[in-house]
């Protein structure tokens, strides 16, 4: 996945990562690809967070941050992606299966505080097996 992020020039301004061992290992493996500009925050509250809790955390992102990578856990991550996505070609694939290590890319036009159900567009869904 790190190579994919680098090839696609995906470099978030902020990385929010659950404090769980597996998510921190994922973060470590992606470390070089998130860019030197990214602020990385490991948060205990993201561990096993619901879609609602994840959405509330994203709504609290500072206005100057233009992109966020969220590294967390299912079912909250899958439910969040489905709730936020108002459109996107990969919606059915996200509904069917959201495997460990999958990456959803979304676009949203507006302040983080206004992020909500159906307000984003799903622009990418990559599963690790597709890259291997």
CA 97-16-45 angle, to 5 degrees, is: 85
Domain CATH code at residue 92 = 3.40.50.1240
Q: Does the N-terminal peptide bond of residue 75 adopt cis geometry, omega within 30 degrees of 0? A: yes
The per-residue pLDDT for range 121-132, each reduced to its tens digit, is 999 999 988 886
Rounded to a whole number of angstroms, the distance between the first and last alpha carbons of the chain is 9
CA distances, 51 to each of 2, 29, 47, 70, 82 (Å): 25, 25, 12, 12, 9
Which residues span the domain enclosing 78?
Answer: 2-131
Strands 39-43 and 120-126, bridge-based pairing: unpaired
Residues 6+ apart with CB under 8 A from 93: 125
Binning pLDDT at 50, 70 and 90, where does residue 36 land?
Answer: low
- Pick the residue with more confidence: 131 or 47? 47
Measured distance CA(51)–CA(62) in Å, rounded: 20
Packing angle between helix 76-84 and helix 51-59, nearest 10 degrees?
60
Measured distance CA(45)–CA(48) in Å, rounded: 8
Q: Give me the pLDDT at residue 130, please.
A: 87
What is the pTM for the complete model shown? 0.92
pLDDT at 33 over 70: no
- 3-state secondary structure labels for all residues of 29-45: HHHHHCCCCCEEEEEHH
Count up the domains in the chain and report the number: 1
Mean pLDDT (the chain) is: 92
């Amino acid at each position: 996945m790190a190579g994919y992020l680098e090839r696609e020039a995906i470099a978030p301004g902020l990385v929010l990562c659950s404090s769980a061992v597996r998510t921190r290992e994922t973060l470590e493996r992606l470390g070089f690809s998130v860019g030197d500009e990214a602020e990385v925050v490991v948060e205990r509250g993201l561990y096993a967070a619901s879609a609602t809790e994840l959405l509330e955390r994203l709504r609290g992102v500072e206005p100057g941050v233009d992109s966020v990578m969220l590294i967390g856990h299912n079912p909250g991550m899958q439910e969040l992606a489905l709730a936020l996505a108002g459109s996107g070609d990969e919606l059915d694939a996200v509904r069917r299966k959201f495997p460990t290590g999958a990456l959803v890319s979304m676009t949203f036009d507006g302040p983080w505080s206004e992020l909500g159900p159906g307000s984003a567009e799903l622009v990418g869904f990559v599963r690790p097996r597709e890259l291997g």
